[in-house]
Structure 1
Amino acid sequence: MSYFRILMEIEAFASDKEPLGEIIGHEVDIILNIERPYQPLLKRPAYPASPKSREALEICIKELLDLGVIINVCHNEEVEITTPVIVAWHNGKSRMVEAFKALNTYTVPGRYPIPKFQIALTQISQAVYIATMDSLKGFHQNVVTPRERKYLRTIVYCGVYEYFRMPFGIKNAPSHFQRMMNEIFPEELSEG
């Protein structure tokens, strides 16, 4: 399938005002190298947040809830693992950043290779035209398997939320996304 043919199928692409796509057959698994009971390091309290950060968090949480990326965890549900959240600011815009460092420490690493940048440049060095395609919140278009969602619970001052879609910042997200892209676009990626 050529890049131009992909562009002709424009309905397949979400915009920032439409729901995210859902890539079928590429669910995210998270395998920990420890058994229950989990280390206390994996159950962290919420970080303190200033009024400005709280307002930004509420906006980010609402957006992620509306997109179906996260769901609210019931107050009576047992929560064993929580990851605190901070607000990162860049050029006046805010985004939610989860501190997955503890979870990543206990996550079994994926073994799928990510292409080296220099190799990618070499592959396209003789190209006359170079086209790029950016998927809106690409990681979030991958669904997390139900049994792994309990590992992806974030805690903020106003509650606990569980990722239904793959978040940015988890250890194997880049290799999972690369494997998915290689399986979906084998011809396009080999044309380099």
Structure 2
Amino acid sequence: MDWVTGLPPGGDRSYNSCLVIVDRFSKTPIFLPCHKDDTAMDTALLIWNRVISWAGIFKNIISDRDPKVTSALWTNPHQLFGTNLSFSTAYHPQTDGLAERMSQTLEDMVRGFCAYGLEFKYCDGFIHDWCTLLPALELA
């Protein structure tokens, strides 16, 4: 897991960051729009509602030492479900290299989209922003 922050506000809730989760078996990325100031509870609910309900309980989670993941809120459910929660060491992003690389790729794609002010309008005037493109970017 990794976060891409510093994104322009997007979506109906003005999201400004994106949680990147990569399934190590299939190498499938999952991009979840979120807020930079989300709490550990917000992040846990986002993962529960959008990922675990779809993919099931994780066997192993590798993340950096973000306070959203290191809080006590995360340790108890992992013990209950038998999930191994591993943290990458400081200044050694290779531990979670797959998510780090996917985060860089996502950031490049979103930056390219936002830099040129690309807007796609439907006939009813709805404008796509980077949040609405995340499902397509997962396939790219």
Larger fraction in helix: 2
Structure whose CA Rg is larger: 1
Larger fraction in strand: 2
> TM-score, normalising length from structure 2?
0.22
